[in-house]
Amino acid sequence: MNFLKPSSVIGILGGGQLAKMMSMAASNLGYKVHIYAPEKDNIASEVSARFTQGSYDDLETLMTFASDCNVITYEFENVPVDTLKKIEKKYVLRPNSQALEIAQSRLAEKKYAEKCGAITARYVPILNREDIEASIAKLGADAIMKSDRLGYDGKGQARIDETTNLSGAWMAVGQRDAILEEYVDFEAEFSVILTRTFEGNIIFWDSSKNIHQHGILKQASLPAGPLIASQRSEARKLASRIADELDYIGVLTVEFFATTNGPVFNEMAPRVHNSGHWTIEATVTSQFENHIRAITGMPLGSTETLADRIEMENLIGDYTDQLDNILSDNNKHLHLYGKDKIIEGRKMGHVTRLYFD
Ligand code: AMP
């Protein structure tokens, strides 16, 4: 047995639904989970053995937390990298801080992806309000401005066209370092989700077709159709190269636009991903389980798909009128995250529907 023994402690930075689902997978494998999050009321600590409340820049509390853990991982991408580097000097952090550092900045991640051979949407860095006009002159007026850091689920973004009030757009991205990115006329969106072990073995799940609304994932479905199927292998090659270059351990997600000219890199997430939630019921081993297996040194489980067709829908905002329908369908699997407040645009849960032909 060459992996962490049962009842070892896995530390998770973050207390949201991804941490909750990782914690449940870890518990199934006999591990104890210690959650670290700033919020006292968080949904991950409800299903975990231990919890430390602390902010992500409180080095002393983080170090005490880390000293209790055999391995530390994260669901939250915006932990200050300097803090993580200090933790990493003494304790085991998987994936490593370099992966997180790159994924925290859109500019850094695009440059890294390009270095690994990716095609990205054309982009120009924006450092202040005055840069915007010149950037539009370079890229054209059909674009998206995105804050370089701290953006998620379409937040910190502004669509730009000829009619846009640029000062308003600058406010919308938070008046901070940003990038202007050309608007990609894509046919579809998909993600490559892989797991890499510390020996460098890589396994992939099938790629779903992902549909976003207002920048938030609404649906992931499989099979993804011929266009995505034809671009999957090139996208996988790039994702593997990124993982190898980073000496990555755990689940890595890379999101792509499928265009008529091939796959265009959009962004990467150094963690389990919303577009892989269907793997819980629809594959032999879920993304959450393989992440825990990888970071604890266990061999990975099969990622084989078990249904003919799959649809994963996010429950965003008020979902309550959908519950009767979901619960009366035996092929639908309901996950409610247990968040106390229903807020418009907030991910409250998801449903996976399996179809057998
Ligand atoms: P992101 O946070 O960058 O993943 O953006 C969220 C969603 O906005 C993406 O999944 C796309 O649906 C859309 N989007 C982002 N960037 C672009 C782009 N350059 N061109 C077209 N759509 C985009």
Q: Is the CB of 144 under 6 A from ligand 1?
A: yes
Q: Is 124 in the pocket of ligand 1 (CB under 6 A)?
A: no
As a whole number, mean pLDDT of residues 289-316 equals 98
Q: Using a 6 Å cutoff on CB, does residue 77 contact ligand 1?
A: no
Domain with CATH 3.40.50.20 in the chain: 9-93
d(CA 348, ligand 1 centre) in Å: 22
**What local confidence, expressed as pLDDT, does residue 128 receive?**
85
C-beta 155 within 6 A of ligand 1: no
Q: How far is the CA of 188 from the centre of ligand 1 (A)?
A: 11
Mean pLDDT of 294-316: 98
Domain with CATH 3.30.470.20 in the chain: 188-355
The dotted CATH code for 9-93 is 3.40.50.20
Cis peptide, bond prior to residue 223, ω within 30 of zero: yes
| pLDDT tens sequence across 75-112 | 988 889 999 999 999 999 999 999 999 999 999 999 99
Domain 188-355 has CATH 3.30.470.20: yes
Calculate the average pLDDT of the chain. Answer: 95
Percentage of residues of the chain with pLDDT beyond 70: 99
Domain ranges in the chain with CATH number 3.30.1490.20: 122-182
Q: How many Cβ atoms sit within 10 Å of the Cβ of residue 220?
A: 28
Grade residue 162 by pLDDT with cuts at 50, 70 and 90: confident
pTM of the model: 0.96
The residue-averaged pLDDT of 59-65 equals: 97
Segment 160-168 long-range contacts (CB within 8 Å, at least 24 positions apart): 160/136, 166/129, 166/132, 166/133, 166/136, 167/129
Report in angstroms the alpha-carbon separations of 144 from 131, 147, 183, 218.
14, 10, 6, 20
Determine whether the shortest distance from the Cβ of 206 to ligand 1 is under 6 A: no
For the cut 90, the answer to whether the pLDDT of residue 285 exceeds it is yes
Nearest to 136 by CA among 128, 124, 153: 124
Residue 31 predicted with pLDDT over 70: yes
Statement: residue 152 has pLDDT above 80: no
For residue 121, the ligand 1 atom closest to its alpha carbon is 19
* Per-residue model confidence (pLDDT) at position 153: 66
Look up the CATH superfamily of 122-182: ATP-grasp fold, A domain (3.30.1490.20)
Q: Which of 144, 181, 255 to mutate to test the pocket of ligand 1 (most atoms within 8 A of CB)?
A: 144
Q: How far is the CA of 279 from the centre of ligand 1 (A)?
A: 23
Q: How confident is the model at residue 141 (pLDDT cuts 50, 70, 90)?
A: confident
Distance CA 236, CA 234 (A): 5
Mean pLDDT calculated for residue range 43-63: 97
